[in-house]
Amino acid sequence: EAGVAQSPRYKIIEKRQSVAFWCNPISGHATLYWYQQILGQGPKLLIQFQNNGVVDDSQLPKDRFSAERLKGVDSTLKIQPAKLEDSAVYLCASSLAGGDGTTEAFFGQGTRLTVV
Amino acid sequence: GQSLEQPSEVTAVEGAIVQINCTYQTSGFYGLSWYQQHDGGAPTFLSYNALDGLEETGRFSSFLSRSDSYGYLLLQELQMKDSASYFCAVRHGGFKTIFGAGTRLFVKA
């Protein structure tokens, strides 16, 4: 079974530039998450999709971050314009369903963003 | 609001047993998960507890007490490869999952 695919793996941009990350979840997984992980910290949920609807985006800085999940499969996360504090690893994860059963989330390798 | 607390660092010797605690404050609690993350790697799922009690999977066990809003991860027969960060994560109302800040485990020879 293929895992969660993310691209690019690494990205360096200057502040005020824009950047986009792409995620392809495991086939059949209804729930897709984007997390931001700053070095030395736990993953922070930015946005959670159930199919192509947003379940939670309460911690997404909507003035600069946007995300979409077209047709309930692939997803893109965009930052425009980037700030220095956006430097982090952006992790995409997926899980089978959003119910309250076993909830194993499978993570991609992440995109390491450096804003200079 | 939602919050989780776990120790920032734990050090243990190879072959020993270590317990990593997690206390949480959340509404609409569904369950507690544990994830392992090696440096530069992706978090990988270890266990999930929805009910009180102990769940055992090989050398790793996880415990939950819903009345105490508390859980722990128990690692036995520690190996060098267990050196990693361990995150507890709470699944709460609206099928949302939030992570703790992580506990960095150092295993010494």
Residue from the list B95, B98, B102 with its beta carbon closest to the beta carbon of A55: B95
A50 and B CB contact within 8 Å: yes
Label each residue of chain A as H, E or C.
CCCCEEECCEEEECCCCCEEEEEECCCCCCEEEEEEECCCCCCEEEEEEECCEEEECCCCCCCCEEEEEHHHCCEEEEECCCCHHHCEEEEEEEECCCCCCCCCCEECCCEEEEEC
Contact list in A for residue B44 (CB cut-off 8 A) is 107
Mean pLDDT of chain B: 93
Sign of the CA dihedral with B87 first, then B91, B92, and B93 last: positive
| A34 residue type, one letter | W
pLDDT at B70: 96
> What is the bridge-based pairing of β-strands A31-37 and A53-56?
unpaired
Q: Which tops the pLDDT comparison, A116 or B31?
A: A116
pLDDT more than 90, % of chain A = 72
With vertex at residue A51, the alpha carbon angle to CA A94 and CA A46, rounded to the nearest 5 degrees, is 55
| B1 residue type, one letter | G
Closest CA to B76 of B12, B26, B2, B27: B12
Closest CA to B98 of A10, A33, A31: A33
Range A55-71 average pLDDT = 93
Q: What are residue A24's DSSP bridge partners?
A: A5
Position A8 confidence tier, pLDDT thresholds 50, 70, 90: very high
HSE value, Cβ hemisphere, 13 Å, CA-based, for A107: 23
Position B88 confidence tier, pLDDT thresholds 50, 70, 90: very high
Q: Which tops the pLDDT comparison, B59 or B97?
A: B59
pLDDT at A99: 52
CA distances from A47 to A91, B8, B20 (A): 11, 26, 28
Mean pLDDT of chain A: 91
Q: How far apart are CA B52 and CA B64, in angstroms?
A: 5
pLDDT in tens, B15-51: 999 999 999 998 888 899 999 999 989 999 999 999 9
pLDDT beyond 60 at B98: yes
pLDDT at A101: 54
pLDDT at A98: 58
pLDDT at A96: 84
Position A1 confidence tier, pLDDT thresholds 50, 70, 90: low
Stated as kind and residue range, the H or E segment containing A103 is: none
Cβ(A72)–Cβ(A50) below 8 Å: no
| B94 residue type, one letter | G
A33 and B CB contact within 8 Å: yes
Residue from the list A33, A102, A108 with its beta carbon closest to the beta carbon of B42: A108
pLDDT at A72: 82
pLDDT at B26: 87
B3 and A CB contact within 8 Å: no
Tell me A25's DSSP state. Answer: -
